[in-house]
Amino acid sequence: MNLVWDCESVSGTGHRTPRSGGYLPPMLRLYRAPFSTNVERVALALAHKALQAESVVISYEDRSPVVEVSGQGLVPVLVDGDEVIPDSVRILRHLESKWPDPPLFPRDAARRAELDVFLDWFNEVWKVAPNTIEAELECERPDHERIAPHSATMRASLDLFEALLDGRDHLFGAGFSAADCAAFPFVKYAKLRDPADDELFHRVLEDNLRLDGGHPRLSAWIDRVNARPRV
Ligand SMILES: N[C@@H](CCC(=O)N[C@@H](CS)C(=O)NCC(=O)O)C(=O)O
């Protein structure tokens, strides 16, 4: 396995000390799949913190490597030494607690709670509409009347993101945060899609979030976050 390391600014947190003195770099391993939205959350977060990770790329047809390591089949999974962490938001929180600088979460308790609320809303509320549309489209005879209100909910959410970006460059303020990590890989489909990416869920995002010339702040945010590095 390749060793991975973090940048000088985070040295002293989470490192083991070798006999020769100094710090041994931490070993991070990221289980991922091509075009995975939830993996991209972690890829953005790792790069923001100047951390590197060895990648284990799985295909959805054979999840055995990720099942073997984590007991479940979804990516991302991060392995940090003896710790095996599934779930993108749990991984973001793990990275923050171990490598707090540069931050992804506010230090102030009230602002941090607001960001926690956003992450829960995004995962538990916002995602319901595209998940429901995808499930309906997978039926033999999709019920388009059932899809319509969810499609409207998705389009309406574009106004909400536009408003969150009023007067600031990122969803929760001037700086890049866990909110941007969590939302970007999904909301980006409003204007970006890799031609090789043929996942139905991503087509649902693209079809129902299309910007069509409106929402200039959201459009600029997608470009801004898309310009960031990923691990
Ligand atoms: N709550 C998990 C969800 C993980 C998840 O759904 N991962 C997708 C990739 S984006 C996956 O592994 N899908 C495989 C499948 O559903 O077949 C997280 O946030 O990481």
Q: Which of 23-32, 33-42, 175-184 has the lowest mean pLDDT?
A: 23-32
**Ligand 1 centroid from CA 36, angstroms:** 7
**Ligand 1 centroid from CA 74, angstroms:** 5
CA distances from 223 to 175, 190, 191, 218 (A): 15, 11, 9, 9
What's the start-to-end Cα distance of the chain, in Å? 17
155: nearest Cα among 173, 130, 183: 130
What's the confidence (pLDDT) of residue 213? 83
Residues with beta carbon inside 6 Å of ligand 1?
A: 33, 36-38, 60, 74-76, 87-89
Average pLDDT value for residue range 64-82: 97
What's the confidence (pLDDT) of residue 19? 44
List Cβ<8 Å contacts ≥24 apart for 94-98.
Answer: 95/42, 95/45, 95/46, 95/49, 95/51, 96/178, 98/13, 98/14
181: nearest Cα among 10, 8, 49: 49
| Element containing residue 57 per DSSP (H, E) | strand 54-57
**Ligand 1 centroid from CA 188, angstroms:** 17
Phi, psi at residue 122, to the nearest 5°? -60, -45
- In tens, the pLDDT along 193-211 reads 999 999 999 999 999 999 9
Dihedral sign for Cα atoms in the order 122, 70, 136, 202: positive
Residue 9's pLDDT band (boundaries 50, 70, 90)? very low
Residue by residue, DSSP assigns 83-142 as EEEESHHHHHHHHHHH--SS-SS-SSHHHHHHHHHHHHHIIIIITHHHHHHHHHHTSSS-
Q: Atom 1 (ligand 1): residue with closest C-alpha?
A: 87
